[in-house]
Amino acid sequence: MKSRSKIQLVLMNPIPRLIISHSQAKLIIHFDLIDISSNLMASFSSFLFITSTLVIVLISVPFSNAQPTSSSRPQGVVLPITKDASTLQYLTYMKQRTPLASESLVIDLAGEFQWVDCENGYVSSSNRTLRCLEKECGWISSVSCGRPPTPPELQPCLGYVYLSNKGVFASDVVAIQSSVNGSIAGPHVAIKKFLFGCGSTYFLQGLAKGVKGVAGFGAFQVSIPSQFSRALRIPRVFSMCLPSSTAFSSKGVIFVGGGSYKMQPGIDLSSSLTYIPFHSSLIGPSYTSGYYIQVKSINIGGKEVPMVSDNITFDNLGFMKLTSISTLNPYTVLPSSVYKPFISIFIEKSRAMGIARVASVAPFGACFDSSNIISTRLGGLVPEINFVLHTKKAVWKFYGSNSMVKVSNNVSCLGFVDGGEYANLVIGGHQLEDNLLEFNLAKKILGFTSALAQQTSCSNFKLGRNFLAARL
């Protein structure tokens, strides 16, 4: 008996519109929404449009390249991460514009949205300026509009703080790699109206060479994970696994849509996460945004770091103020009142382990003779650093792989820096590397691992032959 396939279409209001295009052996699925009028003829026309689209696809695209079909909406998407050797910034890559072109972007964990240099060579037939009266403009904080006599409906949505007076907000097509259960490769999926800031070339100063802008992953309506979630109807959850190496072949990964998170050799990191609450904004002398957690105390090798309980460093509940997580800070920053006893205890504990101190190398305050440090799967065998969080059971542990920085063949330094008297505690990139962080934006919960290097590394994620190719 010959097998037959049956396609069933159910009209809803609104319904998802599926457009599948086949080009150069790659499958791209576009998701958009079309509203169905109460008028029967409009509904029937929409039905004919969808039916004819699917018929064309079935005729023109080989079944081997047409998977997954309309019944398998993406469970998530993945993006690659590389580490720039010069700036120590973390970069990700996406296809954007029409025709699609790959763009490298600096990852800003606290960023509100994605912005791209539109002054230098940004050409796209699908790029459209966002107007002030459109609802999407209201999703963006700190925007301004044009001035009369321009009619309000034609006034552009301008970036007041982030993009200067030259910047406008726009929408364009982006395409990213989809995934199933964090382990099975899906087709590239395209989002037709992805919102981003069209900025000035001037704002690329200080960023890694060759990048086109900044990718914002903050807890905002127009951040990358929020837009992907809304467009693809996937959970508003993203996870980040930063690579520890600057080698181009060693890449980390960003998951959007939730886990599981599978690394070679077959390790699912979902069961290794410790969960804590986070705050996405704090109101004080000035409004701040980002990912903030509560740190109660710090101990090194079992010895607690003494801290002065003043109103500068601590809040009225006894937690360190404004403790944030950053991908733009290469190393963890401590206020001077904490940093001085912190390195003093680390030096004391290191001496007890037979590790000799050597002259400091900027920007670090304590460096050591590498020949005295035993290598392990968790990096150098040095005193363990523990950040005790909102409860004593929630502890963020830093082993040698995340605490020490090799500055030469013979010298390794403690990778924490003094931020000055009024600095806030900021957990920087080096302390995050080769560990998985899961941000649940809907529930405001952060999951993190502390000893990923004991099992695997962020560069051990593979999703198809072409995944993580920066120039897709």
Tell me the mean pLDDT in the region 124-129: 96
Name the residue among 123, 122, 140, 120 with its Cα closest to residue 131: 140
Q: Is residue 421 part of a domain?
A: yes
Segment among 79-83, 114-118, 182-186 with least mean pLDDT: 182-186
Domain match, 286 and 250 both = no
Residue range 13-38: mean pLDDT, rounded: 37
Higher-pLDDT residue of 43, 176 = 176
Give the CATH number for residue 113: 2.40.70.10
* Range in 19-28, 187-196, 262-271, 302-311 with the lowest mean pLDDT: 19-28
Q: Do 334 and 187 lie in a common domain?
A: no
Instruction: Give the model's pLDDT for residue 15.
Output: 32
- Predicted local distance difference test score (pLDDT) of residue 110: 93
Domain co-membership, 250 together with 114: yes
Compute the average pLDDT of residues 420-437: 93
Closest CA to 425 of 323, 284, 331, 316: 323
Instruction: Confirm whether 55 is domain-assigned.
Output: no
CA 405 to chain centre: 23
Please tell me which residue, 453 or 58, carries the higher pLDDT value: 453
Residues 223 and 152 in one domain: yes
26: in domain: no
Say what the pTM is.
Answer: 0.81
pLDDT at 25 > cutoff 90:
no
Kindly report the average pLDDT of the chain as a whole number: 80
Q: Across 27-36, 276-285, 381-390, which has the greatest mean pLDDT?
A: 381-390
Average pLDDT over residues 341-345: 97
Mean pLDDT, residues 417-434: 94
Residue 336 shares a structural domain with residue 372:
yes
Shared domain check, 214 and 124: yes
* pLDDT number for residue 45: 43
Residue 413 predicted with pLDDT over 50: yes
Structure confidence at residue 8 (pLDDT): 34
Higher pLDDT, 301 or 55: 301
Task: Answer whether 226's CB lies under 8 Å from 236's CB.
Answer: yes
Give the pLDDT confidence score for residue 282 in this predicted structure: 58
- For residue 215, is pLDDT > 90? yes
Query: Could you tell me if 170 and 306 lie in one domain?
Result: no
pLDDT top residue among 303 and 71? 303
402-428 mean pLDDT? 95
Tell me: do 254 and 190 sit in the same domain: yes
In a domain, 66, yes or no: no
Does residue 52 sit within a domain? no
pLDDT tens for each residue of 227-240 = 999 999 999 999 99
> Measured between alpha carbons, how far is 8 from 114 in angstroms, rounded to an integer?
38
At 12, is the pLDDT very low, low, confident or very high (cuts 50, 70, 90)? Answer: very low
Strand partners for 252: 81
- Range of weakest confidence among 6-15, 168-177, 233-242, 461-470: 6-15
pLDDT of residue 462: 63
Asked whether the beta carbons of 308 and 404 are under 8 A apart, the reply is no
Based on the domain organization, do 297 and 239 belong to the same domain?
no
Would you say residue 327 lies in a domain? yes
The answer to whether residue 3 sits within a structural domain is: no
pLDDT value for 310: 60
pLDDT of residue 43: 41
SS in 3 state form for the chain?
Answer: CCCCCCCCCCCCCCEEEEEEEEECCEEEEEEEEECCCCCHHHHHHHHHHHHHHHHHHHHHCCHHHCCCCCCCCCCEEEEEEEECCCCCCEEEEEEECCCCEEEEEEEECCCCCCEEECCCCCCCCCCEECECCCHHHHHCCCEEECCCCCCHHHCEEEECCCCCCCCEEEEEEEEEEEEECCCEEEEEEEEEEEEEEEECHHHHCCCCCCCCEEEECCCCCCCHHHHHHHHHCCCCEEEEECCCCCCCCCCEEEEECCCCCEECCCEEHHHHCEEEECEEEEECCCEEEEEECCCCEEEECCEECCCCCCCCCECCCCCECCCEECCCCCCEEECHHHHHHHHHHHHHHHHHCCCCEECCCCCCCCEEEHHHCCEECCEECCCCEEEECCCCCCEEEECHHHHEEECCCCEEEECEEECCCCCCCEECHHHHCCCEEEEECCCCEEEECCCHHHCCCHHHCCCCCCCCCCCC
**Is the domain of 232 the same as that of 337?**
no
Q: How many domains does the chain have?
A: 2
Q: Which of 205-214, 308-317, 424-433 has the lowest mean pLDDT?
A: 308-317
**15 part of a folded domain:** no
Predicted local distance difference test score (pLDDT) of residue 51: 38
Quick check: 9 pLDDT over 80? no
The pLDDT, as a whole number, for residue 149 is: 67
Which pLDDT value is given to residue 144?
Answer: 77
Q: What is the pLDDT of residue 270?
A: 79
Q: Quick one: pLDDT at residue 160? A: 59
Do 273 and 267 contact (CB within 8 A), yes or no?
no
Give mean pLDDT, residues 352-375.
Answer: 97
> What's the pLDDT tens digit per position in 35-60?
333 343 444 344 334 334 433 333 33
**Does 300 share its domain with 339?**
yes
Pick the closest to residue 461 from 235, 211, 259, 187 (CA basis): 259
- In this structure, the answer to whether residues 197 and 277 fall within a common structural domain is no
Find the domain containing 324 and state its range: 273-450
